[in-house]
Amino acid sequence: MTRVAIIGGHGKIALRAARILSQRGDDVTSIIRNDAHVADVTDAGANPVVADIEQLDTAGLASVLAGQDAIVWSAGAGGGDPQRTYAVDRDAAIRSMDAAKSAGVARYVMVSYFGAGPDHGVPEDNSFFAYADAKAAADEYLRATSLNWTILGPSRLTDEPGSGKIKVGGSRSDSSEASRDNVAAVIAAVLDDAGTYGTTIEFDDGDTPIADALP
């Protein structure tokens, strides 16, 4: 049994991942900001913890994460306000990595997106720029840590039923898609897989079973 903390626990991917992990016997803690979401998290099989990651400092985050075996970052500001995007997707994410190290939690899985990085190519006048810039900074910071990290980069997300099959790597196109079901299944697949430590896995829905597609 793995003790897993999902940060951003009420997100669409997070709830799916919590259900998969709890059903296979993991002990899942879902960290949420709004206590109105407690019932949804509980229904997914996770233990809800109400904590505002945007406001907590590193020590506060470390106290929330203490006792876990792994962390999954699936939080996001949701776009719209660039200032909040940087506050959550960059600054809080980076604090969570420092908190993980402080709390002795070595395993860290980051949900990013296909094409994230310093060369993301999004122009500054594009509404997506703040998110792309924030994710690039957070991902690069994670790569420089001593954590056992894996960065997941799904392409455009859909609510299509999961096929359990993906295509890893290659180039992203305008038609590239990844179902949230498949992303949650990939989170579960990599979590205890040491072979994915230190890797960035960009993927679309595809024809290869997830277990066979992973590094």
Q: Where are the domains of the chain?
A: 3-213
∠ CA 76-12-57, nearest 5°, is: 30
In angstroms, the CA 54 to CA 163 distance is: 34
Q: List phi, psi (to 5°) of 29.
A: -115, 125
In angstroms, the CA 16 to CA 88 distance is: 21
Instruction: Compute the average pLDDT of residues 93-100.
Output: 98
Q: pLDDT above 70 covers what percent of the chain?
A: 100
Q: Can you give the pTM of this predicted structure?
A: 0.96
pLDDT of the residue at 60: 97
Which CATH number among 3.30.300.30, 3.40.50.720, 3.30.160.60, 3.40.630.30 corresponds to the domain 3-213?
A: 3.40.50.720
Instruction: Compute the average pLDDT of residues 82-106.
Output: 97
The residues, ordered by sequence, that sit 6+ positions from 166 with a Cβ below 8 Å of its Cβ are 178, 182, 186, 203, 204, 205, 206, 208, 210, 213
pLDDT band at 5 (very low <50, low <70, confident <90, very high): very high
Q: pLDDT above 90 covers what percent of the chain?
A: 87
| pLDDT at position 26 over 90 | yes
The residue to which tokens 């509980």 are assigned: 42
Which has the minimum average pLDDT: 10-14, 67-71, 78-82, 202-206? 78-82
pLDDT of the residue at 72: 98
pLDDT band at 102 (very low <50, low <70, confident <90, very high): very high
pLDDT of the residue at 80: 75
| pLDDT at position 173 over 90 | no
pLDDT in tens, 34-56: 999 999 999 999 999 999 999 99
pLDDT band at 175 (very low <50, low <70, confident <90, very high): confident
∠ CA 142-144-145, nearest 5°, is: 70
